[in-house]
Structure 1
Amino acid sequence: MYILKVKGVAKIPDYVQLRDEKFTLLAYFRVDRPEKSLEKIGLAEKQEYILNLVKDLPFGKIVKLEI
């Protein structure tokens, strides 16, 4: 699984994308509202880990998640 942080502009907030090994979009959520999206794909218990990673992740950089 891969994670990517996308920089928002003007009134559009920052978003996070979670993608699978084939780079198919699994989840797309605002940095400040990840709960429902992570719950839908079964990663609610990993929310704290993912948000800590996102906090230090530079915009536009793709990182492989080991979950």
Structure 2
Amino acid sequence: MYIIKVKGVAKIPDYVQLRDEKFTLLAYFRVDRPDKSLDKIGLADKAEYIMNIVKDLPFGQILKLEI
């Protein structure tokens, strides 16, 4: 699984993308509201771990997650 943090502009907030090994979009959510999206894909129990990574991840960088 891959994670990407996307910088928002003007009134558009920052977002996070979670993608699978084939780079298919699994989840797309605001940095400040990850709960529903992570719950939908079955990663609600990993939310704290994922958001800690997001906090330190530079915008535009792709990081491979081992979950």
TM-score, normalising length: structure 1: 1.00
Q: Aligned equivalents of 1:2 and 1:62: distance in 2?
A: 7
Instruction: For 1:30-49, list aligned pairs within 5 A.
Output: 30-49=30-49
> Hey, which bits of structure 1, 4+ residues long, moved more than 4 A?
none
Identity of aligned residues (%): 87
Q: Figure out how many residues of one structure are paired with residues of the other and give that number.
A: 67
* Unmatched runs of 5 consecutive residues or more in structure 2: none
Q: Which residue of 1 aligns with 2:61?
A: 61
AA in 2 matched with 1:53: I
Q: Which amino acid in 2 is paired with 1:38?
A: L
Give me the TM-score of the superposition, normalised by structure 2: 1.00
The 5 Å alignment of 1:5-44 reads 5-44=5-44
Mind listing any 5+ residue stretches in structure 1 that lack a counterpart?
none
Q: How far 1:52 sits from its partner (Å)? A: 0.2
Q: Distance in 1 between matches of 2:37 and 2:47?
A: 10
C-alpha RMSD over aligned residues: 0.2
